[in-house]
Chains A and B, each alone.
Chain A
Amino acid sequence: MLHRLKEPWTDRRAGLLLGALACSVLAVIVFMLVFIAIKAWPSFANNGLSWFSSKGVVDQQFDAMVNSGLNPSAADYELGAWPLIYATLLTTFFATFFGLIFSLLSAIFIVEFAPERIRRVIVPVVRLLAAVPSVIYGLIGILVLAPFIGNSVITAEQKSSVQFVIPLSGTGLGVAIAVLTVMITPIMIAITVDGLHAIPRAWKEGALALGVNRWRAMWTVTVRAARPAIIAGAVLATARALGEAIMISMVAGSKGFSPNPLDGFVFFFEPVRTMAATVVENAESINAPAMQSSLYALALVLLVGAFFLSLGSWIAKQPLKKYGTRS
């Protein structure tokens, strides 16, 4: 029996085995999705669409869930998760936005303008940065950046302007965005650099030979052709930002609060808590059924959000492929 395994494998056997592996991965994901959906159901069922709205104070609602004991009534499930969703959208959007600008410009510098000696140092460093555990960024954020902002940047007037709504301590939306941007930019740079390198040199030379300078040739031909890779990098980074929990929970202030854009610049000093951070911070209260269901509900929203992110990037890439080599 065993001797048959030593024979060279046929394509059929290899194909079957690999197919089984791929299917098992898919099965695990589907199982996970179904499991989370079932667990999350009580939270959605008791709140309806108002789950996604802003009603009451979300942190008080969580306290009520923890205190509701093992047999919670329908009222104990009450949750308006909008502040958490809003915080997730804000941090993810701003971090991706700034990350996209920084990473694209850095990648262009690395690929087109950096002298060979600098390039040889900077590319490995960027790849290393992409692999730094996020908690280290969180540590720097909470030990260095947050105290600095709390003590030196936020003025007394700014603190008093919102003192009846929310105390400002330094940790908040701005720090979260800044640290998140620093965290996701290296991976975006790495992918964008690879994408720009993959564009045939002949296209760039063709543009240069027509009397276009290197910056314009880069921008109008190479970057244009590399847009699918840039989007892919941005999506990967966005997914990381979307799911980042520990680091955000350290630097974002950890309050279920919706920052008000009308507050002007104070907006960026106001504390928030994202969905992923909420899950990680309340994991110890998971024995309370109401809390458990709410956390699973948050997880489901994150999961579906990530799915739509992939779908959105796929849709965004379609028109870009029209003029590419792949038809």
Chain B
Amino acid sequence: MIDPHEKTSRPARTTDEPANGMMPPPIRRITLDSQPTVALPPSQDAVAIANTGDRSLAAAGRPTRGVAGPERMTISDLSVYYGDNHAVKHVSLPIRQGEVLALIGPSGCGKTTLLRTLNRLTELTGTARREGLITLDGTDIDSLEVTEHRRRVSMVFQQPNPFPMSVFDNVAYALREQGAKRPKKKVLEPYVVDALQRAGLYDEVSSNLDHPALRLSGGQQQRLCIARALAARPEVLLMDEPCSALDPKSTNVIEELIVELRKELAIVIVTHNLQQAYRVGDHVAFMYLGDLVEYGPTDDLFDNPKAARTRDYIGGAFG
């Protein structure tokens, strides 16, 4: 099931190709005006996108944009330094409930640093220094207890990092660490099952919750990490290229999950994958060398980028 426009146009394109077989980057061939005639189910769609890299296809199976809720976190004039290196330069961004903010940009542009700053993980790096204000629900995050803050603003990493424990213990970890008294397994079970269900993993692991988490597949491990973060009931979920270590199918599952989770959480996702930013992002922020170049609703930013650097990056000219 592929868009009919797509099918007819493809042979024409292949004839235009240079004889040496060098394909132009697929992302350049953007047909923004072609509306799909058949809405595709997301899973097939994602595979098709992975094969063709066509963004019009992405638009076809793309879920509707989230409804922006109240602003949960506000970043104002944030700068982060590693020693003398000015990694994030005077960035201001809002993070809203009920939508996904996608951070895009080439490697080393400060996306991950920005994300880690939101979780106050940059403070672990001795040389890191921060300027500017970050608020969570109007409160300066520096005035919050750091553990309390990280419970409310949780993070999923690039490499799946389940702990070397059972699946159950992984999800129950944050719950166990939160209370002063260690709760019984019986008490924790409903919470663990709920978190696994929300992460879309429960059906696959329900019969072996006591198996080692490290024996799950990569995609399952990443969803386990998401479940582990969700179990603590965070208000903001930060995702640092959560799909970069995964295959297209697992990626698709996690993207659907992100769109689903958007309803109850504010999500910030860092991604190298422009299609992914387009598929899951409600707002997109493009960063380059520490600067926030452009920020706007996903459709606006991809269709009518205002800055030349954004246009070049989206067009695949660099990055």
CB distance from A224 to the nearest CB of B (A): 8
- Contact check, A220 vs B164: say whether CB atoms are below 8 A apart: no
A213 to B228 alpha-carbon distance, docked (Å): 16
Q: A216-B177, A325-B214 are in contact. Are A208 and B124 (CB under 8 A)?
A: yes
- Contact check, B155 vs A209: say whether CB atoms are below 8 A apart: yes
Contact with B164, one of A211, A212, A324 (Cβ below 8 angstroms): A324
- Contact check, B157 vs A210: say whether CB atoms are below 8 A apart: no
Binary A-proximity of B153-182 (CB < 8 A = 1, otherwise 0): 011010101111110000001100110000
CB distance from A12 to the nearest CB of B (A): 37
Q: Does A13 contact B (CB under 8 A)?
A: no
Q: Does A327 contact B (CB under 8 A)?
A: yes
Write out the residue numbers on chain A whose beta carbons fall within 8 Å of the beta carbon of B154. 209-211
Write out the residue numbers on chain B whose beta carbons fall within 8 Å of the beta carbon of A225. 163-164
Interface residue ranges, B against A (CB under 8 Å): 119, 121, 124, 126, 146-152, 154-155, 157, 159, 161-166, 173-174, 177-178, 212-215, 225, 228-229, 232
- Contact check, A200 vs B214: say whether CB atoms are below 8 A apart: no
Interface residue ranges, A against B (CB under 8 Å): 116, 200, 202-203, 205-213, 216, 220-221, 224-225, 322-325, 327
A213 to B177 alpha-carbon distance, docked (Å): 9
- Contact check, B213 vs A323: say whether CB atoms are below 8 A apart: yes
- Contact check, B214 vs A324: say whether CB atoms are below 8 A apart: yes
Contact with A327, one of B162, B177, B215 (Cβ below 8 angstroms): B215
A203 to B225 alpha-carbon distance, docked (Å): 11
Write out the residue numbers on chain A whose beta carbons fall within 8 Å of the beta carbon of B126. 116
- Contact check, B165 vs A211: say whether CB atoms are below 8 A apart: no
A163 to B201 alpha-carbon distance, docked (Å): 72
- Contact check, A210 vs B177: say whether CB atoms are below 8 A apart: yes
- Contact check, A323 vs B178: say whether CB atoms are below 8 A apart: no
A-B contact pairs, 28 of them (CB 8 A): A200-B161, A202-B157, A205-B157, A206-B162, A206-B225, A207-B163, A207-B177, A209-B154, A209-B155, A209-B229, A210-B173, A210-B177, A210-B229, A211-B147, A211-B152, A211-B177, A212-B147, A212-B177, A216-B177, A220-B177, A224-B164, A225-B164, A323-B164, A323-B165, A323-B166, A325-B164, A327-B212, A327-B215
- Contact check, A210 vs B228: say whether CB atoms are below 8 A apart: yes
Write out the residue numbers on chain A whose beta carbons fall within 8 Å of the beta carbon of B214. 323-325
Write out the residue numbers on chain B whose beta carbons fall within 8 Å of the beta carbon of A209. 119, 121, 150, 154-155, 157, 229
- Contact check, B121 vs A208: say whether CB atoms are below 8 A apart: yes
A209 to B236 alpha-carbon distance, docked (Å): 12
Nearest opposing residue in chain A for B213, CB measure: A323
Write out the residue numbers on chain B whose beta carbons fall within 8 Å of the beta carbon of A116. 126
Contact with B161, one of A202, A211, A213 (Cβ below 8 angstroms): A202
Write out the residue numbers on chain A whose beta carbons fall within 8 Å of the beta carbon of B152. 211
Nearest opposing residue in chain B for A115, CB measure: B126
**Residue among A202, A206, A207, A324 with the most chain B CB within 10 A?**
A206
- Contact check, A202 vs B159: say whether CB atoms are below 8 A apart: yes
Write out the residue numbers on chain B whose beta carbons fall within 8 Å of the beta carbon of A216. 177
CB distance from A129 to the nearest CB of B (A): 27
Nearest opposing residue in chain A for B126, CB measure: A116
Q: A211-B232, A220-B177, A323-B212 are in contact. Are A206 and B163 (CB under 8 A)?
A: yes
Contact with B150, one of A203, A208, A325 (Cβ below 8 angstroms): A208
CB distance from B239 to the nearest CB of A (A): 11
- Contact check, A322 vs B212: say whether CB atoms are below 8 A apart: yes
